């Protein structure tokens, strides 16, 4: 049976179709989910894509967190459903308290768009199993509110528990504390990151590499073996 991975579209989502395409390239079936529907259509995993949901009014991801679909996502994520938040999706996950910390405006106060080098810090999550610890990858990055922040206690806890999933290498593009580019929850089924792996799945687009494809092959292998 083909794994079914849902992709939620919020008002202002930009990368939902790209994410669906990446899922299809990995060999799974993408399932479009609408933010007003609580029904997840019996998907095996969910991706919250990048974009500017609700125009980032109030605070990036703050309004989407209260969309009807998120009630179900939060409930099922706590029960083990794999959830990946990319860029705006990462912001939504922090607003929904599925991941700790929060996102602020870039420290240079400018939108940034670049190919970004990352180091894989945790290859043991549901979404990172096809990477190796310490592996360096190149993933496109584009954000205005990408500065990850948390109090020192939370940061120390993330470090101690190995929950920093990705770290910026060579250049910190937004002032994120401790160069954090992505984190995971304790169970490893919920992962959020600012860069866009769905834009690095084919040599002809994005970085010209396919460093982002393992996100989607990782979840596929995890679903097949469980």
Residues designated as active site: 87, 196, 198
Q: SS3 helix, strand, coil % of the chain, rounded to 5?
A: 30, 25, 45
Phi then psi for residue 118, to 5 deg, are: -125, 155
* 121 within 8 A of 176, measured Cβ to Cβ: no
Tokens of 109: 């106060």
User: Which residue, chain included where needed, has tokens 């470090």?
Assistant: 159
Q: H/E element holding 182?
A: strand 180-184
CA angle centred on 50, ends 215 and 113, rounded to 5°: 95
Distances (CA, A) of 224 to 9, 62, 96, 97: 25, 34, 28, 28
Exposed e or buried b for every residue in 145-160, given b needs 16+ CB within 10 A? bbbbebeeeebeebee
H-helix segments, the chain: 16-26, 68-78, 88-95, 152-160, 213-225
* 178 within 8 A of 156, measured Cβ to Cβ: no
Tokens of 119: 């180091």
């Amino acid at each position: 049976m083909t794994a079914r991975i849902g992709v939620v579209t919020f008002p202002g989502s930009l990368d939902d179709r790209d994410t669906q395409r990446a899922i299809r390239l990995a060999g799974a079936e993408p399932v479009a989910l609408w933010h007003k529907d609580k029904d997840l259509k019996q998907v095996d995993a969910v991706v919250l894509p990048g974009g500017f949901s609700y125009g980032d009014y109030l605070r990036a991801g703050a309004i989407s967190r209260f969309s009807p679909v998120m009630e179900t996502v939060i409930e099922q994520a706590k029960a083990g459903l794999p959830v990946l938040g990319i860029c705006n999706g990462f912001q939504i996950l922090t607003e929904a308290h599925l991941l700790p910390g929060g996102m602020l405006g870039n420290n240079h106060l400018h939108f940034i768009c670049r190919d970004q080098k990352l180091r894989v810090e945790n290859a043991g999550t549901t979404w990172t199993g096809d990477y190796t610890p310490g592996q360096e990858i190149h993933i496109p990055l584009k954000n205005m509110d990408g500065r990850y922040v948390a109090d020192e206690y939370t940061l120390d806890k993330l470090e101690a528990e190995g929950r920093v999933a990705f770290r910026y290498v060579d250049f910190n593009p937004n002032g994120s504390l401790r160069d954090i580019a992505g984190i995971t929850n304790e169970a490893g089924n919920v992962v959020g990151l600012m860069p866009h792996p769905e834009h690095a799945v084919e040599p002809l687009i994005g970085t010209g590499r396919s460093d982002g494809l393992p996100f989607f092959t990782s979840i596929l292998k995890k679903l097949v073996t469980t």
